[in-house]
Chains A and B, each alone.
Chain A
Amino acid sequence: MKVDSYRFLPRSFRSYYEGRGPFAGEDKLVWAPFEKRLQESRIALLTSAGLYLKRSQPSFDVERERANPEWGDPSWRAIPAASKATDLGVAHLHINDVDLIADPEISLPAHLLERLAADRVIGSAATEHVSVMGYQERNLEGWRDTTAGEVIAHLRSQGVDGLILAPA
């Protein structure tokens, strides 16, 4: 069985994604072997669903995107693993947020990852996961220059061995 990558995409948008190949200058394969056993590894999650902590973090900047539709907020948020659904907001203008608000685990399954750690499937879960907002400028400037490095440093500071990236 092969997944249809465009099953839920409006037909007119397919050409936007299909057959584009790698980004310019990124045509070399990247590979990092996973050396440890999962049962000894610390795992983190990254979602692009635009989740943020409603009481303590700013929303992703959707007003600037409304004013400049080709721009997307490239910043990131640390999401504590113990966050409850009611702690989280969603700032993403390209998806319906009803299911995300009801159950953020569909995009950031932090509580489920804790259960996998308790079941010894993995060694441990990160104490803080990562959220970004997936609609970005074509050149990905903010992500390349700032966000990627900050996220990597944040994960390394927690001793993370592996990251599951979940595009929204």
Chain B
Amino acid sequence: MMPALAEERLAPRVVGVEFPYSHSFGMPGDESMQRHVLELALRVLAGAGAPGTRVDLDVEWPVPLREAYRAWQPKEASPIVKVLLETGRRPG
């Protein structure tokens, strides 16, 4: 979901998906989408010829962005986000 970060951390093989957090393989109940992602990951695992291989999946998340952006987030802010909000600190 954050292939740029994986690249920066020098992950040897990366599959990029533009999906909301926690949905690495796709929509719940959508086996076709999940299989598409898993088979691509297996092909990259076995077929990449050199470190730094990145293959992005050209599949758009089938939920409007605003709705999907809200849906992945926890009902209650995580403890560290609460601290950041309360103190005005920036992440990092």
List residues of chain A with CB under 8 Å of any chain B CB. 1-9, 12-13, 15-23, 26-32, 34, 36-38, 41, 43, 47, 49, 65-66, 69-70, 92-97, 99-100, 102-103, 105-107, 109, 112-113, 115-116, 121-122, 135, 162, 164, 166-168
Question: Are A5 and B1 in contact, CB atoms less than 8 angstroms apart?
Answer: yes
Query: Interface residues of A: mostly helix, strand, loop or mixed?
Result: loop
- Note all chain B residues with C-beta closer than 8 A to A7: 18, 65
Interface size class of B (residues with CB under 8 A): 35 or more
The one of B9, B56, B82 in contact with A23, judged by C-beta atoms closer than 8 angstroms, is B9
Complex: A47 Cα to B43 Cα, angstroms: 19
The one of B2, B20, B28, B71 in contact with A5, judged by C-beta atoms closer than 8 angstroms, is B2
A–B Cβ pairs within 8 angstroms, 9 of them: A6-B2, A15-B90, A27-B10, A34-B45, A37-B46, A96-B73, A102-B29, A116-B38, A162-B42
Question: Are A1 and B72 in contact, CB atoms less than 8 angstroms apart?
Answer: no
Query: Interface residues of B: mostly helix, strand, loop or mixed?
Result: loop
The one of B3, B20, B42, B76 in contact with A8, judged by C-beta atoms closer than 8 angstroms, is B20
Question: Are B50 and A31 in contact, CB atoms less than 8 angstroms apart?
Answer: yes
Q: Closest Cβ of chain B: how far from A143's Cβ, in Å? A: 13
The one of B3, B46, B51, B74 in contact with A3, judged by C-beta atoms closer than 8 angstroms, is B3
Question: Are A105 and B2 in contact, CB atoms less than 8 angstroms apart?
Answer: no
Using A12-B90, A96-B22, A106-B28 as known contacts, list a sample of 19 further A-B pairs with CB atoms less than 8 Å apart, ordered by residue number in A: A2-B56, A5-B3, A8-B20, A8-B69, A15-B90, A22-B9, A29-B12, A41-B46, A69-B78, A69-B83, A93-B76, A94-B21, A95-B74, A105-B28, A106-B25, A106-B34, A107-B23, A109-B25, A121-B39
